[in-house]
A = this chain, B = another copy of it.
Amino acid sequence: ESQRNVNAKIVLLPGDGIGPEVTEEGRKILVEVAEKFGHKFEFESHPIGGNAIDDFGDPLPEATLNACRNADGILLGAVGGPKWDDPTAKTRPEAGLLKIRKELGLFANLRPITTHEFLLDSSPLRREIVEGTDIFFVRELTGGIYFGDSNLEQNADGSETATSTMVYSTHEIERVVRVAAKAAQGRSGHLTSVDKANVLEASRLWRKVAERVVREEFPDLKYDVVLVDAMAMHLISRPSTFDVVVTGNMFGDILTDEGSMLPGSMGLLPSASLGSDGPGLYEPIHGSAPDIAGLGIANPLATILAAAMLLRHSLNLDDEAKAIEAAVDAVLSAGHRTKDLAKDGEVSLGTIEMGQKVIEAL
């Protein structure tokens, strides 16, 4: 049992598609934790994404953003769907995501890629290759080419020229490398930084600063540097040789998605986005899955594991986080499966039933 009793304000951003269904199971597990460990969590739910565009003309309404600023932690479901995919639309659900990251200064995106024995045969990789993979990605999330200047110019001859600028400064690189290096200290002590320093000026600064931070502040880590193209190969040829991997916003977008294929299901992968202070944002890495929205069959486990990350990183409740993770492991070990995890012919649980199993195991 935890020694402190914590009061916390948690903002729920259910979003679109299956978002509301899985977020509700995340909320229930947090309620259970509060009860069991003597904490007091207050919940507030706010719109984000496509439904917020429909209702307020804005994928991140001001009221949502303000509530987030005043929260201790934020649990997000998922945003988007075909309804809001029109490229000529004035705004799109993703704009809400990018804005909340920037406004709350969530510069470090943590994406653990863990594998489970029972899923190994569902991985697109051979069992021998993927077995033992346990990668902790740290992706820079508020800089790089996502937020640099961009421009669209009409040329005299009727053609157009578009630019997007990748920009990194010393301070931005330092702080995210520190997050990754600290994570490596708490794991196997191995940090890999990924860049494209043989071509990009922005990557050359990244490499220089990352190396200095590690050398000066984390000299005990095993540290190496890999080019992004090589990393795209190594991730599938020898994924189990990595521990913590830190990289910029764009490379992280591509590599973490590539990595998300390894475990054989995205249904168990949470992610956390943290700033230097203020609330963190926690979410499953899967999307809003509009095709199964409302059917009650979505897998809530990634969201439940995101709730565990919220407890660990935003409320400093590591025991409670571990309790949730252990409960999820126990439920999986007992053979309980949602539809996405079930083999052909295996019985599968619905969203609410699966959430209930985890609560019982807690």
> Which residues of A come within 8 Å of B, CB atoms?
87, 92, 94, 98, 123-126, 129, 145-146, 148, 150-152, 155, 159-171, 196-207, 228-230, 232-233, 235-237, 250-251, 253-255, 257-258, 260-261
Contact = CB atoms under 8 A, between A and B. Distances in A.
Nearest to A232: B258
- Chain B CB within 10 Å — which of A92, A94, A155, A164 has the most? A164
A159 B166 contact: no
A99 B205 CA distance: 22
A237 to B, nearest CB: 5
Given A161-B167, A161-B169, A162-B169, 14 more contacts: A87-B204, A94-B199, A125-B126, A152-B205, A155-B170, A159-B169, A161-B168, A162-B206, A163-B166, A165-B165, A229-B253, A232-B255, A237-B261, A254-B254
A60 to B, nearest CB: 15
A146 B233 contact: no
Copies per complex of this chain: 2
Contact of A162 (B129, B198, B202): B202
A261 B261 CA distance: 15
Contacts of A197: 87
A165 B148 CA distance: 9
Contacts of A229: 253-254, 257
Contact of A203 (B155, B160, B164): B164
Nearest to A249: B199
B169 A204 contact: no
Contacts of A98: 199
Contacts of A151: 201
Nearest to A129: B124
Contacts of A129: 124
Given A125-B124, A198-B92, A199-B98, A236 B233 contact: no
A201 B152 contact: yes
B145 A159 contact: no
A196 B254 CA distance: 10
